[in-house]
Amino acid sequence: MTDPRFERARSPPLEGGQTGERLQKVLAASGLGSRRDCELAIRAGRVRVNGRRVTALPCLVRPGQDLIELDGSIVRAVPDSIARSRYLYLMLNKPRGVISTARDPQGRGNVVGMVQAAIPAGSRVYPVGRLDADSTGLVLLTNDGELAWRLTHPSRGVPKEYLVTLHGRLNPETVEKLRRGLWLAGRAPGDGAKRARIEVLRVLRQRKDRSEGDQSQVAVTLTEGQNREIRRLFARVGLKVRRLERQAIGPLRLGRLPAGRHRALTEAEIAALRRAAGLGPGRHSPPSS
């Protein structure tokens, strides 16, 4: 029997102007990672379509017709209309010490492991954006790669809200500096860097503690995010972050979900998130009970 890889390899990838779906979108819809991760895999030469290595985008494919391989393994790709019916959407209140990746060489607990009981056999989810190990709060996990990409891409400007407790006191000049933006350590004009800035900063409370000194609690909103950006921004103005909790991603709010617990998103929450990302309502699979 002829190996279907060789039969399909005779059919080249779609040329420009032909109807198809973006390769990175198909990979993400198949549960192989976020769309950004899939783009990186393509550019690294890990993906073949009909036997031909793809390293440049855009590349259009026909799920169910074209042979797609990642690292030599066949991808069971399905059309986006079918993939939408299999999407999962979970929210987790991440506790401190848990990392926002699917696995960790050091063996630390991760957010995917914390929601594993809610994921049907044969499915997978991954976190949308990241919180560092010392931060707590809202983590969205899904296998909807298009939504994940849109919620995290700077061009979409989807706001993320945080409650931050600081060691130190803010004055109006410091608040204005943070709103205008600062160059973070190691990045400067001319190397492609952007100024890091806080979109909205509201001082909620300031007090003096006899044993610990001045403390401030602030609400912070970002529409773009760099690695540990909030901590690094406050460090640039001489303030240390003591606690950091993400409370919202766009219209999705953490609410009273206890630390360490997770739940499936409601239909209304999914629809609101997809609207915020500029997508249609979509459909999803209920998590395992």
Active site residues: 132
Locate tokens 């943070």: which residue?
178
Locate tokens 């779609």: which residue?
14
Token digits of residue 15? 């040329």
Measured distance CA(272)–CA(147) in Å, rounded:
12
Neighbouring CB atoms inside 10 A of 132's CB total 13
Provide the CA 206 distance to its chain's centre, in angstroms: 32
Residue 218: phi, psi to the nearest 5? -135, 155
Residue 39: strand pairing partners: none
Residue 220: strand pairing partners: 162, 201
Residue ranges in the chain assigned as alpha helix (H): 4-8, 23-29, 35-43, 80-83, 111-114, 145-152, 172-180, 229-236, 267-276
Neighbouring CB atoms inside 10 A of 147's CB total 26
Map residue 6 onto helix, strand or coil: helix
**Nearest residue to 147 via CA among 43, 29, 61, 39:** 29
Establish how many alpha carbons lie within 13 A of residue 154's alpha carbon, considering only the half-sphere containing its beta carbon: 7
Q: Are 61 and 28 in contact (CB under 8 A)?
A: no
